[in-house]
Amino acid sequence: MRLILFFILLTFSVYAQSRFTVSGYIRESGSQEQLIGVNVYLPNTTTGTTSNTYGFYSITLPAADSVTLAFSFVGYGTEIRTVKLRSNLQLNVQLAAIGRELNEVVVSGRREADKVSQMAQMSQIDIPVQQIKKIPAFLGEKDVLRVLQLMPGVQKGSEGQTGIYVRGGGPDQNLVILDDAPVYNVSHLFGFFSVFNGDALKSVELTKGGFPARFGGRLSSVVELNMKEGNKEKLHGEGGGGLIASRLTLEGPIKKKGVAVAKSSFLISGRRTYLDLLARPLIAAQTDDNTMGGYYFYDLNAKFNYDFGQKNKIYASGYFGKDRFFFREKNASSGSEGGLNWGNATGTLRWNHLFSEKLFSNASLIFSNYKFQIYAKESERFNNTENEFELRYTSGVRDWGLKYDVDYFPNPQHALRFGVVTTLHRFTPSAVVVKNSDINQFKTEVEALNNVESGIYAEDTWKPNRWLKMNAGLRLSHFSAENQNYFRPEPRISTALMLRPDLSFKASYARMNQYIHLLSNTGIGLPTDLWVPSTAKIAPQQSSQVAAGFAKDFEKQGLALTFEGYYKTMNNIVNYKEGSSFLLIDDPSSAEKVRWDENITSGRGWSYGAEVLLQKKTGKLSGWIGYTLSWTQWKFAELNFGQTFYPRYDRRHDLSVVGIYEFSPRITLSGTWVYGTGNALTLPQSNYLAYPHNLNPQVQYGQNANAPSIVYRSFGGGWSVSDYGPKNSFRAEPYHRFDLSLQFHKKKRHHERTWELSVYNLYNRRNPFFYNLTSRQVFDANGKYVKTETVLQRISIFPIVPTLSYNFKF
């Protein structure tokens, strides 16, 4: 830290003479929304900077009687300002949004002046929210994570699901942060939708390699999402409805009458599915009046900010969402109910303070809570006596965090960031309540673990000359686990060497540590995810990743091409042992006796591959083509007999083609086509009949308590035994589909409306969701039984799905 401070003071003393600083905030005209990543530069030079997460910029230049600065941001008109620079200058700028005549730059290129080839950071994708809204929707819901799945290096999960697997990592290895708060479970509807409502978002950025030092705690990627702040000039709203859900967003100023621009504003956004309402008459038609059940999810985003002036601002934002699956059945003598609940809650309180025209700080108080619950209740009345049995199992993780970041802009060649963060985790791997009135039993057992995770970092974006750009930094992370403390240094560097003005060679190295782990239940396909900390027995996960590649801009054609190769190693990754689970579903009364740390094993993995991304940024036709060639392998001493195997979501080839065509300001056509190698699965290679000596082959399946319910099944008077080969040695069929969307926009007097017709899986590809082994009898032409054979049955869940949705804004 002393070395960093010395470097700052030395830099300041060298450049203090005859140099002055222009600084301020950049906002959107008409809403006063602060703009992230706006380019501020001297035209026809490489001297420039960008606005930070809060719209603040600072650039130090030699004194001059006339200095011309350009402010550019794709989707907005470029603002040119000429100033006299004889002292430090405060210059706030507003950029006016351009209508549909200007197409947004696709994917990683919102910046106009800073071309893809000239960016020091590599393996980073910046997605405009307006771009997300033009891509075909699934069941009428625009989904951020579903768009990320279309990027090279990002693998999708099962059919229709929003899980992302970045460069060989699992879903727990992605740091997903919403206004600085980590979100632990990002899925609604068992993984088919994400929890992020695009109407409430201002920016989405994915980093999959060459991580800046300010990020830590995960191995594979960082997904940074920022909510809108709220319109400070007028009330604004947007919303819509699709096949399964509706949403509404309101934002506006909080001001006194007669004041032109408010000091504070608000945003509130809600979404709810009506699946339970649609399913209720169907359930009633199939059952009697005593049975009911359903599923629904909802989420709520809210944000408030207050501007105390140029030097101080506060922001308060939060998210709350919940999924609920339930059933109830009741008659005169008995009743039962049960279900699953899971949800997230986050909250962030931030204070921006401007110490000087070069020194900007942000302090954050962060809260995050994820909870999952299974519950079951049964009651029975016999001889005027009512007996009740109840089971509740809860797990989750709760965080309280403090974070302090500083941005320092000593001169155009350096942009320094440093800070500190500490988080108090409270993990609840198991909280069990069992009630049984029949035997007068009541048990409550709660396992709670408290851990502290901290980090201190410093990074510098350095441009020593016009040919070299570099982001270098160091992060020191710490985690307290029981009686052990882990201290881990994490060096980071990303460089861009300009071979030509439109061609650069890039390289990066990053070391990451992850102190928390996600255990996915091996028994049931529900969101029964268990977050647990590192302990004295379970070491932190660690990854090292190197990447290199080229970036080329084709200005005349409006194209950008990036090519990257990477190699990543992962140590101490965790998984359940064979046949283990966090909960014994067959014997819930003993659930509290299952120790999660006794049922997991540690191993290592490695992933390597190449990614190509070709983007068209301008014109009526925009879009991208992304291709990934990759290999991922794992090795655990206690899995697959210690042999290397491919994890489920290893895909050799992954291809995405996205096109958006603006026929006119009123009509937009978009389409996506995806192809991917099939998942790696474990399936029986053969079945054979057996008569174990401790089993009576005449008894029916399920009547013998000693019969293993997974390995053996009744079959032709004997027992069929499944022989499983090496783990994940079976490859599913390739996955591919084509989605199409047609949007009709119309501006009314007081609002704008959009009708969208989207078709998911247009050519009705029956992609596998899972496979099932089933037996069928074979007969000859005369109807005589010949044999019984085992058949591999493919189960698909989404055929062609057309959806009509309506969206509006005012």
pLDDT, tens only, 185-215:
888 877 788 889 889 999 899 999 889 999 9
Question: So what's the pLDDT on residue 249?
Answer: 95
Buried b (16+ CB within 10 A) or exposed e, 30-67: ebbbbbbbbbbbbeeebbbbbbbbbbbbbbbbeeeeeb
Lookup result for tokens 């069928």? 776
Longest CA–CA separation in the chain, Å? 102
Q: Which of 305-314, 430-439, 646-655 has the lowest mean pLDDT?
A: 430-439
Q: Which two tokens stand for residue 261?
A: 């621009």
* Percent of the chain at pLDDT exceeding 90: 39
Please tell me the number of Cα atoms within 13 Å of 335 on its side-chain side.
13
pLDDT, tens only, 14-60:
444 578 899 999 988 888 888 888 888 888 777 888 888 889 999 98
Cβ-based neighbour number of residue 257 at 10 Å? 4
- Residue 697 pLDDT level (bands cut at 50, 70, 90): very low
pLDDT, tens only, 557-612:
888 899 999 999 999 998 888 766 655 444 444 444 556 777 888 999 999 999 99
Structural contact between residues 398 and 516, judged by C-beta atoms closer than 8 angstroms: no
Structural contact between residues 481 and 451, judged by C-beta atoms closer than 8 angstroms: yes
Q: Is the predicted pLDDT of residue 699 greater than 70, yes or no?
A: no
pLDDT, tens only, 704-762:
444 333 444 444 455 667 777 788 888 889 999 999 999 999 988 888 999 999 999 99
Residue 59: C-alpha distances to residues 309, 353, 674 (Å): 20, 18, 43
pLDDT, tens only, 459-506:
999 998 889 999 999 999 999 987 889 999 999 999 999 998 889 999
pLDDT, tens only, 100-126:
333 433 333 334 444 676 777 888 888
At 181, which helix (H) or strand (E)?
strand 181-182
Q: Rounded to two decimals, what is the model's pTM?
A: 0.86
pLDDT, tens only, 265-323:
999 999 999 877 766 666 555 555 667 777 889 999 999 999 998 899 999 999 999 99
Helices (H) and strands (E) in the chain, counts: 4, 48
Question: So what's the pLDDT on residue 614?
Answer: 93
CA angle at 448 for the pair 447 and 449, rounded to the nearest 5°: 125
Please tell me the number of Cα atoms within 13 Å of 418 on its side-chain side.
17
Structural contact between residues 613 and 95, judged by C-beta atoms closer than 8 angstroms: no
Category of 334 on φ-ψ map: left (φ > 0), alpha (ψ -120 to 50) or beta: beta
Question: Which of 573, 570, 571, 568 is CA-nearest to residue 509?
Answer: 568
Q: Is the predicted pLDDT of residue 441 greater than 60, yes or no?
A: yes
